[in-house]
Amino acid sequence: MNRKTPLKRVRTKQKRLSADDRRSEFVTKATELFAEEGFGGGTRALARKLGVTQPLLYRYFPSKDDLIKEVYRKVYLEPLEIGWERLLSDRSRPLRARLQEFYEVYTDAIFNRRWLRIYLYSGLKGLDINRWYVGMVKDKILTRILRECRHDAGLATQSRPSAAELELAWVFHGGIFYYGVRKYIYEAPVLEDKAQMISDALDIFLAGFERMAESATGSSEGADQGRRLSRISSPPSDPDTSRRSRSPS
């Protein structure tokens, strides 16, 4: 009678991660955790949820704030390093076309459950992420958009945007942002596809800025500047097609 040869248990050797890979893994896991559960708890609880020891986590991130800052850099700042500022400032293209393309690319980056949940959780917790990001949007996006609007309207571009201009830009930007909140956080139906929604929002924003440009000079020159802005920024007409159907995205 043949005896069965006992099977040898083969131990699979886990690949040892480099320091950079380990750090990247912590950031990825922390991002997922913060998106689902928010920012509560200390580093001990955080390490446990990440499946590592607290001393190992400390080796890469001396504090929870350091980890949060790295999540902010990875999730919120890295997507901005893809030429958005150059796109907004490219005066060889019509202003409206630049704004349409920018907001389509921008919303591709931020319209996802993880990005929006982390942003909203950090606001509720009173963390710096929101203040950092709001400051970045104001300085790098809205101020630049308003400068380009003023240039197309024939107004001075050296001065800072007025309070009224900034509020108009925030209402425009915030309306687009809230479309993503409705869809990805509230899971509520949206009534237009994203590109059409952006186009509609641009209609309102540019018309508002046109009126603002006219009142800025209070003269027929201001009206001429407003008409110039309207002409430059209007969407190209296509006589062979009607307005796109309003289908949910």
Q: Is residue 177 part of a domain?
A: yes
Domain count of the chain? 2
The verdict on 152 and 42 lying in the same domain is no
Q: Is residue 117 part of a domain?
A: yes
Q: Report, as an integer, the average pLDDT of 78-94.
A: 87
Read off the pLDDT band of 77 (50, 70, 90).
Answer: confident
The verdict on 88 and 65 lying in the same domain is no
Average pLDDT, the chain: 84
Per-residue pLDDT at 74 exceeds 60: yes
Residue written as token pair 């309306």: 175
Per-residue pLDDT at 55 exceeds 50: yes
Q: Report, as an integer, the average pLDDT of 222-232.
A: 51
The single-letter DSSP state of residue 15 is: P
3-state helix, strand, coil in the chain (%, to 5): 70, 0, 30
5 by Cβ neighbours in 10 Å (0-12 / 13-18 / 19+) ranks as exposed
Q: Is residue 244 part of a domain?
A: no
The verdict on 109 and 215 lying in the same domain is yes
Give the residue among 89, 87, 112 at the shortest CA–CA distance from 101: 87
Q: Is residue 131 part of a domain?
A: yes
Nearest-angstrom CA–CA distance, 159 and 161: 7
The pLDDT value given to residue 8? 54
Percentage, residues of the chain above pLDDT 70: 80
Per-residue pLDDT at 235 exceeds 80: no
When comparing pLDDT for 179 and 63, which is higher?
Answer: 179
Per-residue pLDDT at 18 exceeds 90: no
Q: Report, as an integer, the average pLDDT of 56-65.
A: 91
Ranking 55-64, 141-150, 225-234 by mean pLDDT, the lowest is 225-234
172 by Cβ neighbours in 10 Å (0-12 / 13-18 / 19+) ranks as buried
The verdict on 105 and 190 lying in the same domain is yes
Cα dist from 166 to 133, 145, 147, 162, whole Å:
16, 10, 11, 6
The pLDDT value given to residue 208? 97
Per-residue pLDDT at 123 exceeds 60: yes
Nearest-angstrom CA–CA distance, 226 and 231: 9
Cα dist from 9 to 3, 6, 12, whole Å:
18, 9, 9
Q: Is residue 240 part of a domain?
A: no
Per-residue pLDDT at 229 exceeds 70: no
Q: Is residue 2 part of a domain?
A: no
Provide DSSP, 103-170: HHHHHHHH-SHHHHHHHHHHHHHT-HHHHHHHHHIIIIIIHHHHHHHHHHTT--SSSPPPHHHHHHHH
The pLDDT value given to residue 220? 43
The verdict on 41 and 157 lying in the same domain is no
Nearest-angstrom CA–CA distance, 167 and 203: 16
The verdict on 201 and 128 lying in the same domain is yes
The pLDDT value given to residue 90? 96
The pLDDT value given to residue 51? 87
Per-residue pLDDT at 240 exceeds 60: no
Per-residue pLDDT at 247 exceeds 70: no
Q: Give the CATH number, domain containing residue 51.
A: 1.10.10.60
The single-letter DSSP state of residue 238 is: -
Q: Report, as an integer, the average pLDDT of 91-118.
A: 96
Q: Is residue 59 part of a domain?
A: yes
The pLDDT value given to residue 1? 52
3-state secondary structure of 40: coil
Nearest-angstrom CA–CA distance, 201 and 196: 9
The verdict on 197 and 121 lying in the same domain is yes
The pLDDT value given to residue 192? 96
The verdict on 65 and 106 lying in the same domain is no
Q: Is residue 170 part of a domain?
A: yes
The verdict on 28 and 99 lying in the same domain is no
The verdict on 30 and 141 lying in the same domain is no
Per-residue pLDDT at 196 exceeds 90: yes
23: domain range?
Answer: 19-70
